[in-house]
């Protein structure tokens, strides 16, 4: 069966998940993003690739980085951007997701960027568009439930490639609440596809999926052992909004064992980079001295996110 996010020619029709995407497409996205980083240096920061296209940002969950960088990326590609305010939209009056989508299609939408608390919502929209014969409309998943956050995974890959060059020589550790994290799932799929030979997840038993080793990662519950000689440390936020019941004694206890401090970071390689998708909880998963320190590439991740989102949007609809 064809991957539902690829068209008959094997190109991207939608971006819903990194799972199942071939390495060539991941590399094409990263390669396409590279020249877009230079657009920001220009006096005129616009390219005409999406001129005349309408991009609808549908964020049913809060966001700072993803929503804003998608908007910047679409505007730099000369698209018209419509940010639907979900709180004041008819969704709050009981309109279904697909009825909302149908109405936006009637307004000649070309692309939907969707964040939703329910895993699978962007898939549902993509399937609905196919059933309606709207093959010219594209869907980008901007984070669905605990399922996937593909553009975050891709901008993380761009960041790693920028600082470390060759994925096939790296040791990478993902630390914290892997269980509830759509970011971790997308990162693991991307890192495996790009050939990282040593991929580790670190966290308490209550926050690591039971089938983690089946994903091709090594599991560590001792953070210092897990960080030993790694090149890349990818921290995760505690996803309190997705936790059911008490999975942790307290944030203070979590910080003691799994918070990234300079002392624990010293177990990694001396040139290790520290990443975090944001929003950060300082003093819970990361100490301020590390978040603001010389190993951190957390703000460059945000900047690279614009170029990566420009790449994805231009590959989908840029002709
Ligand atoms: N990394 C990320 O998805 O951040 P936002 O929730 O601010 O978009």
Does residue 143's CB lie within 6 angstroms of at least one atom of ligand 1? yes
Check whether residue 174 and residue 269 sit in a common domain: yes
Length of the chain: 319
The answer to whether the beta carbons of residues 156 and 149 sit under 8 Å apart is: no
SS3 203: coil
Tracing tokens 């001396």 back to the chain, one arrives at 270
Does residue 203's CB lie within 6 angstroms of at least one atom of ligand 1? no
Does residue 152's CB lie within 6 angstroms of at least one atom of ligand 1? yes
User: Does a structural domain hold residue 95?
Assistant: yes
Q: Ligand 1 atom closest to Cα of 278?
A: 1
Domain at 176, CATH number: 3.40.50.1370
Does residue 301's CB lie within 6 angstroms of at least one atom of ligand 1? no
Residue closest via CA to ligand 1's atom 3 equals: 66
Structural tokens at position 175: 């630390």
Check whether residue 183 and residue 218 sit in a common domain: yes
Does residue 64's CB lie within 6 angstroms of at least one atom of ligand 1? yes
Check whether residue 176 and residue 207 sit in a common domain: yes
Does residue 278's CB lie within 6 angstroms of at least one atom of ligand 1? yes
Check whether residue 171 and residue 286 sit in a common domain: yes
Check whether residue 175 and residue 216 sit in a common domain: yes
Structural domain span for residue 180: 150-297
pLDDT at 1: 58
Distance CA 4, CA 100 (A): 22
Q: Ligand 1 atom closest to Cα of 61?
A: 6
Does residue 66's CB lie within 6 angstroms of at least one atom of ligand 1? yes
Find the 278 Cα to ligand 1 centroid distance in Å: 6
How many domains does one find in the chain? 2
Check whether residue 281 and residue 308 sit in a common domain: no
Distance CA 317, CA 110 (A): 8
Sheet holding 138-144, edge to edge: 80-84, 54-59, 111-116, 138-144
SS3 80: strand
The answer to whether the beta carbons of residues 122 and 114 sit under 8 Å apart is: yes
SS3 154: helix
pLDDT at 75: 97
- pTM for the full predicted model: 0.96
pLDDT at 88: 81
Q: How far apart are the first and last CA of the chain?
A: 26
pLDDT tens, the chain, 319 aa long: 567 898 888 889 999 999 999 999 999 999 999 999 998 888 888 999 999 999 999 999 999 999 999 999 999 999 999 999 888 888 888 899 999 999 999 999 999 999 999 999 999 999 999 999 999 999 999 999 999 999 999 999 999 999 999 999 999 999 999 999 999 999 999 999 999 999 999 999 999 999 999 999 999 999 999 999 999 999 999 987 777 666 777 889 999 999 999 999 999 999 999 999 999 999 999 999 999 999 999 999 999 999 999 999 999 998 7
Q: Ligand 1 atom closest to Cα of 277?
A: 1
């Amino acid at each position: 069966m064809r991957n539902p996010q690829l068209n008959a020619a094997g190109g991207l029709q939608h971006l819903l998940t990194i799972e199942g995407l071939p390495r060539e497409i991941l590399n094409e996205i990263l390669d396409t993003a590279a020249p877009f980083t230079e657009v920001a240096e220009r006096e005129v920061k616009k390219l005409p690739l999406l001129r005349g296209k309408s991009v609808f940002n549908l964020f049913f969950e809060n966001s700072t980085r993803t929503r804003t960088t998608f908007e910047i990326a679409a505007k730099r590609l000369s698209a018209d951007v419509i940010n639907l305010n979900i709180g004041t939209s008819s969704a709050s009056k009981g309109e279904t997701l697909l009825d909302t989508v149908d109405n936006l299609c009637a307004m000649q939408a070309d692309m939907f960027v969707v964040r939703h608390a329910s895993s699978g919502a962007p898939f549902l929209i993509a399937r609905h568009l196919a059933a309606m014969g709207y093959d010219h409309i594209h869907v980008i998943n901007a984070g669905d439930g605990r399922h996937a956050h593909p553009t975050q995974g891709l901008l993380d890959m761009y960041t790693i490639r920028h600082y470390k060059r060759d994925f096939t020589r790296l040791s990478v550790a993902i630390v914290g609440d892997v269980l509830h994290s759509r970011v971790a799932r997308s990162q693991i799929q991307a890192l495996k596809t790009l050939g990282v030979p040593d991929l580790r997840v670190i966290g308490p038993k209550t926050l690591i999926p039971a089938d983690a080793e089946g994903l091709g990662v090594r599991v560590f519950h001792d953070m210092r052992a897990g960080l030993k000689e790694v090149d890349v440390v990818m921290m995760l936020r505690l996803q309190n909004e997705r936790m059911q019941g008490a999975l942790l004694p307290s944030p203070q206890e979590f910080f003691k064992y799994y918070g990234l401090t300079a002392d624990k970071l010293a177990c990694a390689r001396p040139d290790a980079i520290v990443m975090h998708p944001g929003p950060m909880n300082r003093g819970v998963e990361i100490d301020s001295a590390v978040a603001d320190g010389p190993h951190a590439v957390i703000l460059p991740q945000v900047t690279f996110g614009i170029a990566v989102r420009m790449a994805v949007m231009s590959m989908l609809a840029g002709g």
